[in-house]
Amino acid sequence: MSVVINFKSVIQGKNAEKLARLMESIDNNRLIAVVSPIDIYAVSRYAPSLTIWSQHIDTDSPYKPMTGNLNISTAIERGATGAIINHVEHPIGLNHIKSIVRYAPNNFDICVCANTLEHAQEILKECTPDYIAIEPPNLIGKNTSMDNETLESVISAIGHKTNILCGAGITSTMDVARATHLGANGVLVSSYIVNSKCFEASIRNLLVGLKQ
């Protein structure tokens, strides 16, 4: 069970280093930091035992120079052990998703974001990522998470195929407890943490939900 915290573009540079170090001091086993690619190296040095994922990644392109390409091999070299892709704020096509998932080595987790169960099923017909994060766009940044019926249908339909993260609108201990009780493998959260006035209290609040 994991609480995956997406720093977005809100927490970068020194602030990303500080938040990652705080996360490491709280729980370096169940917390995952999703940081800007430019922060991977610094964050991994400041919090060496914390799991670090990249915000987006691409396949390596050794035979075709690609400006702006984020190579998996470089991300691993700099300290990342995974990435989220196809976030609603950085969507990519199905062929791109498939190529990344198939290219990624076994020691590099790929979490593909999907906005509906149908979208997730479409992705899973083409490839099997390590995680699927279900994030209904209308709930992102809001104070309401997925209802039980929707989450249960997701878990029932695809929970046997890959790990499921419940995303969008996660703001409380009960949100986390409900998601994991229904069968999710964790939660993907951002706004609740990055906009918090007290990072530590907010993070601990979510972790309590993993224990219930």
pLDDT at 138: 61
pLDDT at 155: 87
pLDDT at 147: 67
Task: Assign domain 2-211 to its CATH architecture.
Answer: Alpha-Beta Barrel (3.20)
Residue 56 annotated in active site: no
pLDDT at 137: 67
pLDDT digits (tens, 9 = 90+) for 85-109: 999 999 999 999 999 999 999 999 9
pLDDT at 63: 61
Mean pLDDT in runs of 10 for the chain (212 residues)?
95 98 96 98 97 95 75 96 96 95 95 94 96 78 65 88 89 90 92 94 94 62
Residue 24 annotated in active site: no
Q: Exactly one of 17, 24, 56, 135 is catalytic; which is it?
A: 135
**Is residue 158 within 8 Å of 117, Cβ to Cβ?**
yes
pLDDT at 150: 81
Q: Where are the alpha helices (DSSP H) in the chain?
A: 14-26, 40-46, 72-78, 94-103, 117-126, 148-158, 173-181, 191-194, 199-211
Position 176, amino acid: V
Query: Going by C-beta distance under 8 Å and a sequence separation of 6 or more, which residues neighbour residue 95?
Result: none
Q: Exactly one of 24, 77, 87, 119 is catalytic; which is it?
A: 87
Closest CA to 135 of 204, 177, 85: 85
Three-class SS state of 167: strand
